[in-house]
C-alpha cells in the first residue's frame, strides 16, 4: 500500500501552502467578523442588531458551497470585479465561520458577571473602557475553547475550494486519483493525516492562548479545565 508514498507525498504536499493560506486568511477574517458581529448583536441600536442578525442567520442558514459559488461566480458579474479563486475561498471561509463566531462572542460577553460591570461603572469607566478593560479580557477566556473548534472546522472546510480549482491538498489528491487509482486508499490516508496534523497545531496554539489569557486575568486554569474538574468531582 505504501510502495508509491515517496511519489505521491510530494504531489499532495504541493497543495499544503494553499491550504495553509486559505486557513490562515479565513481564520483572520473570522476573528474580525466574529467580534464585529458579536458586539453588533449586543449593540444598543436596533438597526445595528437587525443588520447583524441578518448576516449571522444568512450565512449560518445557507450552504457553504453555494456561498462559494455565489461569491466566485455571481459577485464578479454584479460588481464587475473578478476574484482570484483563493481570495474568493478566504472570503467565504471568513464570512461563513464569522457568523458562527459571532454567537460565540455574544455568549461569552454576556457570561461576564454583572457585578464586574457594576464595579466598572462605579469606577466611572466609559462604555468603551468597560468593554476593553473589563468585559473582553474575561470573555476571551470563555470563547477560546469554542474558537478552537471553529478554527478546526474552518480548516476542514478548506477542501471545498476544490470546486473552484484552488490547488489545495484535496484538489491535489483528486488530480492524482485518475492515474493512481490503485493507490486511492493511500492518497486519502495521507490527506487525512495532513488535516489531522494541522488540526493538532491549531489546538496546541489555542490551548497555549487559553492559558495565557487565563493568567492575564488572574485565573489559574481556563474555565474549560475547571468545568471538567467539576464533572469529575474535583471541584475548583
Question: Are 70 and 92 spatial neighbours (Cβ–Cβ below 8 Å)?
Answer: no
Evaluated on CA atoms 31, 36, 42, 46, the torsion sign reads negative
Q: How high is the pLDDT of residue 231?
A: 41
CATH topology of domain 5-231: MetI-like fold (1.10.3720)
Q: Give the phi and the psi of residue 220 in degrees, each rounded to 5.
A: -85, -15
Is 235 a residue whose pLDDT tops 50? no
Lowest mean pLDDT among 17-26, 64-73, 134-143, 224-233: 224-233
Is residue 167 very low, low, confident or very high in pLDDT (cuts 50, 70, 90)? very high
Q: Tell me: pLDDT of 227 over 70.
A: no
Q: Would the pLDDT of 232 be above 70? A: no
8 A C-beta contact, residue 109 and residue 117: no
Place of cell 438597526: 47
Sign of CA dihedral 82, 87, 88, 94: negative
What confidence score (pLDDT) does residue 220 get? Answer: 58
Closest Cα partner for 37 from 59, 48, 52, 54?
Answer: 52
Domain boundaries, the chain: 5-231
pLDDT of residue 229: 46
Q: Do residues 172 and 11 touch, judged by C-beta distance below 8 A?
A: yes
pLDDT at 230 over 70: no
Confidence category of residue 34, pLDDT binned at 50, 70, 90: very high
Has residue 117 got a pLDDT over 90?
Answer: no
Q: What is the mean pLDDT of the chain?
A: 89
Distance in angstroms (rounded) separating the CA atoms of residues 154 and 58: 18
Query: What confidence category does residue 152 fall into, taking pLDDT thresholds of 50, 70 and 90?
Result: very high
What's the confidence (pLDDT) of residue 1? 62
State residue 171's pLDDT score. Answer: 95
Q: How far is CA 40 from CA 27, 102, 203, in A?
A: 19, 9, 28
Residue 72's contacts (CB-CB under 8 Å, 6 or more residues apart) are 83, 85, 88, 89, 92, 164
Tens of pLDDT, residues 5-24: 888 999 999 999 999 999 99
Task: For 40-63, write each residue's pLDDT tens digit.
Answer: 999 999 999 999 999 999 999 999
| pLDDT for position 25 | 98
pLDDT confidence bin for 233, thresholds 50/70/90 = very low
- Residue 81 has φ and ψ, to the nearest 5°, of -125, 115
Q: Are 9 and 76 in contact (CB under 8 A)?
A: no
Amino acid at each position: 500500500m505504501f510502495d508509491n508514498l515517496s511519489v505521491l507525498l510530494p504531489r499532495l504536499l504541493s497543495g499544503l501552502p494553499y491550504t495553509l493560506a486559505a486557513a490562515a486568511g479565513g481564520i483572520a477574517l473570522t476573528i474580525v467578523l466574529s467580534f464585529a458581529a458579536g458586539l453588533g448583536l449586543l449593540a444598543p441600536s436596533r438597526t445595528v442588531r437587525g443588520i447583524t442578525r441578518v448576516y449571522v442567520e444568512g450565512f449560518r442558514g445557507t450552504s457553504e458551497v453555494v456561498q462559494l459559488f455565489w461569491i466566485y461566480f455571481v459577485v464578479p458579474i454584479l460588481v464587475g470585479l473578478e476574484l482570484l479563486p483563493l481570495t474568493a475561498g478566504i472570503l467565504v471561509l471568513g464570512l461563513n465561520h464569522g457568523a458562527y463566531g459571532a454567537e460565540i462572542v455574544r455568549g461569552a460577553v454576556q457570561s461576564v458577571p454583572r457585578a464586574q460591570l457594576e464595579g466598572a461603572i462605579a469606577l466611572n469607566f466609559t462604555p468603551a473602557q468597560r468593554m476593553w478593560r473589563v468585559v473582553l479580557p474575561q470573555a476571551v477566556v470563555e470563547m477560546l475553547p469554542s474558537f478552537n473548534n471553529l478554527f478546526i472546522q474552518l480548516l476542514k472546510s478548506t477542501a471545498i475550494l476544490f470546486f473552484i480549482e484552488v490547488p489545495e491538498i484535496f484538489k491535489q489528491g483528486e488530480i492524482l486519483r485518475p492515474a493512481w487509482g490503485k493507490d486511492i486508499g493511500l492518497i486519502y490516508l495521507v490527506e487525512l493525516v495532513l488535516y489531522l496534523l494541522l488540526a493538532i497545531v491549531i489546538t496546541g496554539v489555542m490551548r497555549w492562548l487559553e492559558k495565557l489569557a487565563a493568567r492575564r486575568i488572574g485565573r489559574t486554569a481556563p474555565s474549560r479545565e475547571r468545568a471538567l474538574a467539576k464533572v469529575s468531582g474535583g471541584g475548583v
